[in-house]
Structure 1
Amino acid sequence: MKRCAWASDSAEMLVYHDKEWGVPKKKVSELFECLTLEIFQAGLSWSTVLRKREAFREDFFDFDVKKISQFNEKDIERLMNDESIIRNHAKIISAIQNAKACINNDLVQLTWEPFDFTQMDGLNDNNKDDIKEFIKPYVKRFKDTGFKRVGPTTLYSYFQSVGVINDHEIDCFRHKELNDSFKA
């Protein structure tokens, strides 16, 4: 069975590729988890994030935006002292700010509405400048609604992870499965 080249980096990556990446998600908690993890991943490998994912779920109350939006200095200190997650003060602050942005905005609508709630084929064969141009209006939209640390790379990766953009390689078995299942 043919997969995307990156999927064979580890057992965790293989499972993530086969079961989750690019599968359309339309629950706020799932979307918020993906966005938060993409932000924490910036500058690190995705396998690092996957290894720490369960700890993130525990520390961030299964990505419940109402609970996270109420985090205070004590919560920030708790997270900064937890070695089981990625401890980055700016990224922790952005998670809290983004949870507050979710309270004031419909993350499902914000994510899917510009695409008419339909998955699109990705731009993985295009160059980085094309992708950066494509993603600019979406970055602006997220930032205008109060989201932090949602630059072009992070937001494009988020769209890939939540299934807005199907960027599985064309000959990967998941590319066809996802296209077929979304059209059904």
Structure 2
Amino acid sequence: MDATVTSDDGVTRCGWAHSAPEMLAYHDDEWGRPLHGDGALFEKICLETFQSGLAWITILRKREAFREAFARFDIDEVAAFGDADTERLLSDARIVRNRAKIAATISNARAAKAMVDDEPGSLDRLLWGFAPPPREAAPASYASIAPSTPESAAASAALKARGFRFVGPTTVYALMQYAGLVNDHAAGCQLAVAVSPGDRS
């Protein structure tokens, strides 16, 4: 896949943005844009948990179903899920029905709740505290980007220490890419410069 592709609208984007129709808007409007808020970041942790071992497009296409099934990823509500909810989720054909990932999501909600009940904004601050310095140059291609970094490994360890599961360094790095902690848009993409990973406002 080419590092960048110029679309019919004349805009140059990362090549992967053209892999499926849904990916174009995801690339333009979400990926790499600074994301803040305990709830928003918790949702992304959950979706990355389910993405593990699967293509992201699978999760993107099921995202609205996941939101409906998991109470819009409200931390308090998911933390209160019990056995009946687990069985309900396992029977919901609209989502990825993996018992271990469902259990991890509920467990992660409880870990997140313990953090943010004590100190609202603490999940946001923890993750953004591991944002690396801005890149000196945009990556030449998506394939040239390492699947994990020392920062994602450190963030993974910090989350695990707080009781989170399914948050390995690769999963956390995917979260960091999405949430704008890093800007991995390829050189030549319109967003390689336009989105600033240093924006933590």
Fold shared by both chains (TM-score > 0.5):
yes
Structure 2: distance between partners of 1:140 and 1:166 = 22
The reply on whether 1:107 has 2:123 as its aligned counterpart is yes
Q: What displacement does 1:119 show?
A: 7.2
Structure 2: distance between partners of 1:134 and 1:30 = 20
Is the CA contact 2:181–2:197 (under 8 Å) kept in the aligned structure 1?
A: no
The reply on whether 1:141 has 2:141 as its aligned counterpart is no
Structure 1: distance between partners of 2:105 and 2:45 = 9
Q: What displacement does 1:126 show?
A: 4.8
CA separation of 1:25/1:148 partners in 2, compared to 1, >3 Å: closer, same or farther?
A: same
In structure 1, what residue type is equivalent to 2:183?
Answer: N
Aligned twin of 2:134: 120
1:166 partner SS: coil
Structure 2: distance between partners of 1:160 and 1:103 = 24
Query: Aligned runs of 1:10-159 on 2, under 5 Å?
Result: 10-105=20-115, 106-115=122-131, 120-121=134-135, 125-128=144-147, 131-159=148-176
Q: What displacement does 1:95 show?
A: 0.6
Corresponding pairs, count:
180
CA separation of 1:144/1:177 partners in 2, compared to 1, >3 Å: closer, same or farther?
A: same
In structure 2, what residue type is equivalent to 1:43?
Answer: G
Q: What displacement does 1:107 show?
A: 1.1
In structure 1, what residue type is equivalent to 2:189?
Answer: C
Aligned-residue sequence identity (percent) comes to: 39
CA separation of 1:97/1:38 partners in 2, compared to 1, >3 Å: closer, same or farther?
A: same
Is the CA contact 2:130–2:152 (under 8 Å) kept in the aligned structure 1?
A: no
Q: Under a length normalisation based on structure 1, what TM-score does the superposition of the two structures give? A: 0.89
Structure 1: distance between partners of 2:46 and 2:55 = 15
Question: What 5-or-longer segments of structure 1 have no aligned partner?
Answer: none
Q: Under a length normalisation based on structure 2, what TM-score does the superposition of the two structures give? A: 0.82
Is the CA contact 2:183–2:197 (under 8 Å) kept in the aligned structure 1?
A: no
